[in-house]
Chain A
Amino acid sequence: MKLKTTLLASVIAIAPMAALAADLTIGFSQIGSESGWRAAETTVTKQEAQKRGIDLKFADAQQKQENQIKAIRSFIAQGVDAILIAPVVATGWDEVLEEAKDAEIPVVLLDRTVDADESLYLTAVTSDLVHEGKVAGEWLVAEMAGADCRIVELQGTTGSSPAIDRKSGFEQGISGHDNLEIVRSQTGDFTRAQGKVVMESFLKAEGGETICALYAHNDDMAVGAIQAIKEAGLKPGEDIKIVAIDAVPDAHKAIADGEMNATIELTPNMAGPALDALEAYLADGTVPDKWIQTESKLFTAADDNMAIFNEKKDLGY
């Protein structure tokens, strides 16, 4: 009984708030807090909404699709102006997306796409995983400038789409350059601990001095590998060039310390481009492309990594 009263009271309390808020109200259904990157995405989305004076209704689905569908239905019932979804899985969205379409509420997908008809959502804002790998490969090609280089690769979790795409992207990036050769490739499960363990075995199996570069599918594995390289008495960043993907704060710190050479950003700011597209669409009906690719920005020692580290460290990574 008491619970019901509280619920009722909170509904009554929320209703006028929505009416009072700024001209745009947008619902955001987030997957949950599965990783540091995800937490940063949530923080940045809230910041972006605040910057634009948008009233953001946030729903954490705790990694469950049914929670996301419930949240979307409640957003529709509340009559929001638009909905952002970071879909936890690819399938099973048709029905709820059609409900949103019937209510004439535009839906933007963040970070991941869904297996549904394209007409059911306005646009999808995602990074291009293959492109990220390619940027890493091209950076190494330029860095080596024709010199011979034996590369070891730390893959992500076997069979996961980031691992597959970042691997093939890197191979595209270095293709046609015979001086570059991937000599060992093994999974480090995207974790620091496994990155360190696998790097240790690379250093012994190949002989640390013959390895010239490390490509890791994410920064965490690179950070683990840096420790393994140091323990083997080599200088990470100098003896072995290190390039990885994600641009988490610790990677910026490692670059600032000279222990890592480059990282490619998987930006947590998916909401910025999404909200830009939505604002344009709601203002004058500009229909954006079905896919908005976020920038895969390359960070090297040339950037002020300490400043970026300080900026990023409070985002929740």
Chain B
Amino acid sequence: MTSQTVGPRPSIMRRILPQLVILIVALALNVAVFPEFFQIDFRNGRLFGNLIDVLNRGAPVALLCIGMTLVIATKGIDLSVGAVMAIAGAVAASVVVEGHGWGMALLAALAAGGLCGLWNGFLVAVLRIQPIVATLVLMVAGRGIAQLVTEGKILTFDNAGLIHLGAGTVAGLPTPILIWLALGALVTCVVRKTALGMLIEAIGINERSSRLAGINSRVLLVCVYLVSGLCAALAGVIVAADIKGADANNAGLWLELDAILAVVIGGNSLLGGRFSIVASLIGALIIQSINSVILLSGLPPEFNLVIKALLILGILVIQSPRIGTYIYMLKASGPQPQPDAPPIRSTKEETAR
């Protein structure tokens, strides 16, 4: 705990090493079931291969987990991102169907996502509703809102500009890959090159003392939910553009859980505090690699969820603190080091306030 908050920052490589190892193992599994996994051709003006698919199909979860990492770092959670994706996709589709350009559609979708984020932030930061409950409201209601926008059907569109965001390529690389890489880099830079990241961590570790130390926690909390809403909106636009239609019933369904899982696999604590967006993004790629193994294995679909559950269980067990300590002790094989005390965070102080 103390080593987390003071002293020099450990290098980024050391932080993401476990995730990288897991990712390599997941990719190796892919090669095991499909030897030509790494083969990439250039076909029909685009790079064509399984590795590209993993990067491309991982885009929605990758985008979601950028915002989700920040929210979780403040000890919050955002369950509404899947529904916000559906809303944003529906808004973007209805704007282009009405004859406006794709730029307008993207702006409208981002505005809708931003509004959803502000609503969540308002409930959490101002009304002090617990994040899981506050965002549950929009998770349930959001899909209904999206259906109102699309009038209950799959709203299809033909706008080349909008479709390009989901299904197009830039220099042979599918656009979604570039979008999540760019946004990931941008947000990482903003929170790490300024004190913003540290302030967010401070809120997650102890909101009360960080407020006493002069951090405007209310504004920051609203901001992280806003960022999460914007990320979800972008993911929603990509998903809609990919199938040239807004499917309010299915767009982003259960993706909030995949996003949370990506953050957790990325080694971030659900109790808030230290976070790494890069590790979460690798987490998203790990999840997508697992999906890819399932699809390439050719096993009957009845096995899909079992395989996914087993692989993720394996990852989480390897990452668990107990096992970590055990491995460390085995390696040390000298006098037993004291295992790290589990972080004790008193919530009593906050409720007493």
CB of B21, distance to nearest CB on chain A (Å): 25
**8 extra interface residue pairs, beta carbon distance < 8 Å, beyond A158-B301, A204-B53:** A36-B153, A39-B152, A186-B301, A187-B301, A193-B239, A220-B154, A231-B167, A232-B44
Cβ A158 vs Cβ B250 within 8 A? no
Minimum distance in angstroms from A26 CB to a CB of chain B: 24
Least CB separation from B156: chain A residue: A250
A-B contact pairs, 24 of them (CB 8 A): A33-B152, A158-B304, A184-B298, A185-B300, A187-B301, A189-B250, A192-B247, A193-B250, A196-B242, A198-B295, A201-B50, A204-B34, A204-B49, A205-B296, A224-B243, A227-B243, A227-B244, A232-B43, A232-B44, A232-B48, A233-B44, A233-B48, A316-B152, A316-B153
How many contacting A-B pairs (Cβ < 8 A)?
Answer: 80
How long is the Cα–Cα vector from A193 to B250 in the complex, in angstroms?
8
Task: Decide if A201 touches B292 in the complex (CB within 8 Å).
Answer: yes
Residues of chain A within 8 A (CB-CB) of B245 are: 192
- Picked from A33, A158, A233, the residue with its CB within 8 Å of the CB of B43 is A233
Chain A minimum-CB-distance residue to B291:
A197
Q: Counting CB contacts under 8 A, is B251 at the interface?
A: yes
Q: Does B350 contact A (CB under 8 A)?
A: no
Tell yes or no: B46 within 8 A of A by CB: yes
Q: Does A300 interact with chain B (Cβ within 8 Å)? A: no
Cβ of B175 < 8 Å from any Cβ of A?
no
Query: Per a CB cutoff under 8 Å, which of B44, B50, B57, B250 touches A231?
Result: B44
Assembly CA distance A194 to B292 (angstroms): 12
B301 with A185: CB separation less than 8 A: yes
Instruction: List CB contacts (< 8 Å) of B114-157 with chain A.
Output: 147, 152-154, 156
A47 at interface by CB-CB < 8 Å: no
**Whole-angstrom CA separation of A39 from B249 in the bound complex:** 14
Whether, in the assembled complex, B340 has its beta carbon less than 8 Å from a beta carbon of chain A, the answer is: no
CA distance A184 to B46 in the complex (A): 25
Least CB distance, A149 to chain B, in whole angstroms? 18
Q: Provide the residues of chain A in CB contact with B154, threshold 8 Å.
A: 36, 192, 220, 250
Given known pairs A36-B154, A201-B53, the reply for A187 and B250 (CB within 8 Å) is: no
- Interface size of A by Cβ–Cβ distance < 8 Å? 33
> For the complex, is A191 an interface residue (Cβ under 8 Å from B)?
yes
- Does A317 reach chain B (CB closer than 8 Å)? yes
> Shortest beta-carbon distance, B35 to chain A, in Å?
11
For B147, the chain A residues whose CB sits under 8 A away are 33
**Is B167 a contact of A227 with CB atoms below 8 Å?**
yes
How far, in whole Å, are A189 and B300 apart by their CA atoms in the complex?
14
A204-B50 contact, Cβ under 8 Å, with A36-B152, A186-B301: yes
B98 within 8 A of A: no
CB-based nearest B residue for A157: B301
Is the CB of B302 closer than 8 A to any CB of chain A?
Answer: yes
Residues B295 and A201 in contact, CB atoms below 8 Å apart: yes
Q: How many Å lie between the Cα of A191 and that of B53 in the bound state?
A: 18
Interchain CA distance A158-B299 in the complex, whole Å: 13
Given contacts A204-B49, A231-B167, contact A193 B251 (CB under 8 A): yes
Whether A155 contacts B301 in the complex (CB less than 8 A), given A193-B251, A204-B49, comes out as yes
In the complex, which residues of chain A have a beta carbon less than 8 angstroms from the beta carbon of B44?
231-233
Distance of A186 Cα from B302 Cα, bound (Å): 9
Q: Are B49 and A191 in contact (CB under 8 A)?
A: no
